[in-house]
């Protein structure tokens, strides 16, 4: 990603060697600020309070969180404790547990004295692999966009939900990577950006990214997508995922399922873009098996934004006293998913489709 001509990743070692830098996503789109995480506790707070968010970035941050914990105390006891504490920060994105399992599994046979350096190196490998995976997702997904471009005149209109761009990963993004690759290759792309209430990751973060990259886009209210699809204004939907089952059920930001239903009714292809670290091979039924995070009611009852005079303000928007529910994710059943765009190619949302791309999982299942 480039901000004002400077290349950034969303997470990187601090220049002073004392911590890990992240972009504070709670300040976007109005302020671009980095923050240094200097302890496991600070990494946990960053994930829980959504200073960092998005499944792959949560995983990378947890990996660095475990490394920071090893710098503080590399004992077996602290390794187990830090892994448990970091795993509890957010429940839905499987990338969190995947990254912690990978780093902890690598550290367990090592002596305490070897753990700090080894864990920082492993966290850096996870970050590098995420960049490579997302770039490859971009190439595979861009081919789908280019194929549509060849069949029509005018830009390819892509609808996306939430933020599955570079801010949600280490770089490139999942759902937005195909858009960036297609745009950079000269394919005309226009993106309908769902605002994504209650936290507005679409309006705040996806729109910020697309602006920074110069991709034409239009922010829409969450409820507008079905109408646009009915009127032939959307060529395809691409969303990210926080956890996808071995059968192709896709869990993503709340509201994704409704877009998939509308897409099916209107004959619009509906793709999920995700790296291998988002696949939960232990689950076959996403609706029954994926834990859905229930977040604070205040995210629904209040909105925060910038007033015309530049000040930040939080205002109430719900009738006082009304009970509120705030499920943060939903599950789109595989039957509504046209395909899954991964770093290895595009799979059907079926067990055979996914195993075709990941044959090494056949032995494990």
Ligand X SMILES: CSC[C@@H](O)[C@@H](O)C(=O)COP(=O)(O)O
The pair of structure tokens assigned to 230 is: 């009915």
Minimum CB separation from ligand X for residue 272, in Å?
9
Minimum CB separation from ligand X for residue 104, in Å?
22
C-alpha distances out from residue 189 to 104, 153, 185, 203, 209, Å: 42, 11, 10, 18, 15
Q: Stretches 166-174, 263-271, 281-289, 343-351: which one binds ligand X (CB under 6 A)?
A: 166-174
The answer on whether 55 is annotated among ligand-binding residues is yes
Residue 332 backbone phi and psi in degrees, to 5: -95, 115
Select from 10, 29, 51, 53 the one that contacts ligand X (CB under 6 A). 53
The residues in 96-155 that bind ligand X, with binding defined as CB under 6 A, are none
Q: Is the peptide bond before 182 cis (omega within 30 degrees of 0)?
A: no
CB 219 within 8 A of CB 295: no
What span, in angstroms and rounded, lies between the C-alpha atoms of 247 and 357? 13
DSSP letter (8 states) at residue 91: S
Considering just the CA atoms, what is the radius of gyration of the chain in Å?
20
Is 280 annotated in the active site?
A: no
Residue 185 backbone phi and psi in degrees, to 5: -85, 0
**240 binds ligand X per the rule CB under 6 A:** yes
Nearest residue to ligand X by CB is 240
CB 39 within 8 A of CB 51: no
Residue among 100 and 162 whose Cβ is closer to ligand X:
162
CB 223 within 8 A of CB 178: no
Minimum CB separation from ligand X for residue 252, in Å?
5
Residue among 82 and 254 whose Cβ is closer to ligand X:
254
Select from 23, 55, 60, 126 the one that contacts ligand X (CB under 6 A). 55
Q: Stretches 31-39, 73-81, 164-172, 178-186: which one binds ligand X (CB under 6 A)?
A: 164-172
Q: Given 222, 235, 242, 330, which residue is catalytic?
A: 242
User: Among the residues of the chain, which ranges form H helices?
Assistant: 40-48, 55-72, 76-87, 94-107, 112-151, 177-184, 201, 207-213, 225-230, 256-266, 286-289, 298-301, 351-357
The answer on whether 54 is annotated among ligand-binding residues is yes
- Burial status of residue 345 (CB atoms within 10 A of its CB: 0-12, 13-18, 19 or more): middle
Residue among 157 and 241 whose Cβ is closer to ligand X:
241
Q: Stretches 38-46, 60-68, 116-124, 162-170: which one binds ligand X (CB under 6 A)?
A: 162-170
Q: Stretches 13-21, 72-80, 239-247, 334-342: which one binds ligand X (CB under 6 A)?
A: 239-247
Task: Find the angle CA(37)-CA(175)-CA(276) to the nearest 5 degrees.
Answer: 70
Which residue reads 């190619």 in tokens? 345
Select from 86, 158, 162, 229 the one that contacts ligand X (CB under 6 A). 162
Among 296, 232, 306, which residue's Cα sits nearest to residue 262?
Answer: 232
Minimum CB separation from ligand X for residue 282, in Å?
19
The residues in 183-202 that bind ligand X, with binding defined as CB under 6 A, are 201
Select from 202, 253, 338, 354 the one that contacts ligand X (CB under 6 A). 253
Handedness of CA 357, 202, 196, 53 (dihedral sign): positive
The site that binds ligand X (CB under 6 A) totals a number of residues, namely 18
Binding site feature residues: 53-55, 90, 201, 252-253
Binding site feature residues for substrate: 53-55, 90, 201, 252-253
* Residues lying near ligand X in the complex (CB under 6 A): 53-56, 93, 162, 164, 168-169, 173-174, 201, 240-242, 252-253, 328
Provide the annotated active-site residues: 242
């Amino acid at each position: 990603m480039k901000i004002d001509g400077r290349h950034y990743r969303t997470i990187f070692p601090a220049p002073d060697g004392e911590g890990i830098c992240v972009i504070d996503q709670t300040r976007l789109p109005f302020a671009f600020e980095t923050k240094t995480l200097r302890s496991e506790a600070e990494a946990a707070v960053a994930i829980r309070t959504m200073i960092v968010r998005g499944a792959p970035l949560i995983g990378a941050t947890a990996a660095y969180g475990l490394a920071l914990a090893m710098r503080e105390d590399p004992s077996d006891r602290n390794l187990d404790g830090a892994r448990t504490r970091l795993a509890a920060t957010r429940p839905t994105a499987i990338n969190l547990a995947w990254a912690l399992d990978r780093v902890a599994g690598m550290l367990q046979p090592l002596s305490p004295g070897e753990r700090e350096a080894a864990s920082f190196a492993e966290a850096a490998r996870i970050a590098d692999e995420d960049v490579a995976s997302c770039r490859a997702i971009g190439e595979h997904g861009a081919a789908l966009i280019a194929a549509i471009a060849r069949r029509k005149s005018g830009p390819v209109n892509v609808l996306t939900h939430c933020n599955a761009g570079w801010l949600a990963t280490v770089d490139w993004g999942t759902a937005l990577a195909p858009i960036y690759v297609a745009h950079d290759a000269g394919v005309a792309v226009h993106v309908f950006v769902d605002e994504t209430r209650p936290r507005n990751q679409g309006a705040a973060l996806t729109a910020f990214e697309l602006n920074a990259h110069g991709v034409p886009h239009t922010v829409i209210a969450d409820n507008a997508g079905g109408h646009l699809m009915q009127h032939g204004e959307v060529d395809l939907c691409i969303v990210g995922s926080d956890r996808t089952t071995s059968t192709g059920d896709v869990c993503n930001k709340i509201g994704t399922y409704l877009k998939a239903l509308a897409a099916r009714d209107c004959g619009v292809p509906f793709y999920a873009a995700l790296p291998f670290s988002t696949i939960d091979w232990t689950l076959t039924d996403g609706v029954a098996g994926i834990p859905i995070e229930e977040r604070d009611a205040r995210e629904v009852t209040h909105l925060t934004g910038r007033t015309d005079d530049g000040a930040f303000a939080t205002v109430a928007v719900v009738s006082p006293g009304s009970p509120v529910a705030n499920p943060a994710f939903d599950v789109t059943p595989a039957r509504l998913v046209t395909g899954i765009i991964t770093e290895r190619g595009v799979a059907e949302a079926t067990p055979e489709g996914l195993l075709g791309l990941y044959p090494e999982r056949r032995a494990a299942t």
